[in-house]
A and B are shown apart, each in its own frame.
Chain A
């Protein structure tokens, strides 16, 4: 989170009081946070993330009278974002598109800029992993290939791919933590 609960809430309340500048700053701060949230949930369809972000911003703007001051504004924002995200998945599902399970989980990034940086880092860090883990993660996590297809491509069993992905991810997390420190 770039902006904490206290800052966001202050901006929100001033915006609700009719301060257009505060409202704009609020929307801008929220869009930074939400872009990261939505991208991390829609990693296989980044082009949808920006559309969805705009939908959420409009919802937040037009429904802002539904915010209850006695609750955290971040909870309100994320409830709306999550709702719009689920709605988006539902619409996609109705159109018969495949929804990768991988979208539902994953890393959390802090902002748009960091998302770009992080991807570059990951490629570097990936190179430090054993071949098997590297290929599994690249296919399953980065390219969004199903575990079964990935197994066929690498020539491993499905459970091998799952274990390699899991172990590789753990190593990656450790490497990233070290790189950050």
Chain B
């Protein structure tokens, strides 16, 4: 086919498509979270002291939501072609600084003899494995939206997508997570979200192609 004929054919079909970003974004985030919560309830079970620990669970979930929230502008920015990240990277940097600050303040304020335990949570931090698993449904739903927006920097977009999904996964994980120390949460939830970003960059480079 000649290129000029193609242009004629394309121009005849002049109805502009419309990708409905916000409804689909809300759908991906809410449904992704619900599925993750369902997975937690089915396979791990809610922590037994959920009544007494309600405040802590809410705070941890809020921290995770903040993590997702600071990366979301970057994801939306990179999802469409020809737009640089700009200030949106600074938001993420600010969140990382906040995490470091929380860890420092919490550990300095605590008893030096229990510092290490407060930081490590006393055992292997399973959240860095489980949060990426719980992030998967959100990542799939977000990927379905983002691919329609024609991202052109796939690894970076995938990293942002992974981090947002990681934040959502961490919100669900907070219902099960038995460790409440602020230093633990600010460290390992952030590490888990960063790990999701790395996985997202690798997987996104392949699966976000359009």
Contacts and interface: CB of A to CB of B under 8 A. Distances in A.
Nearest to A73: B82
B152 A80 contact: yes
B14 interface: yes
A18 B81 contact: no
B17 A68 contact: no
Interface size class of A (residues with CB under 8 A): 35 or more
A24 B7 contact: yes
B154 to A, nearest CB: 8
A42 interface: no
A72 interface: yes
Given A31-B7, A65-B19, A66-B149, A78 B82 contact: yes
Contacts of A54: 1, 3, 6
Contact of A82 (B3, B18, B19, B152): B152
Contacts, number: 85
B146 to A, nearest CB: 11
A21 B150 CA distance: 25
Interface stretch (A55-63, A120-128, A130-138, A153-161): A55-63
Given A65-B19, A82-B152, A57 B6 contact: yes
Interface centre among A59, A67, A77 (most CB of B within 10 A): A67
17 contacts: A20-B14, A21-B11, A24-B8, A27-B7, A28-B4, A35-B3, A57-B3, A57-B7, A57-B10, A61-B10, A65-B16, A65-B19, A72-B82, A75-B81, A75-B82, A77-B82, A80-B150
Interface of B: 1, 3-4, 6-8, 10-19, 79-83, 149-150, 152, 209
Interface of A: 15-16, 18-21, 23-24, 27-28, 31, 35, 50, 53-54, 57-59, 61-68, 71-72, 75-80, 82-83, 87
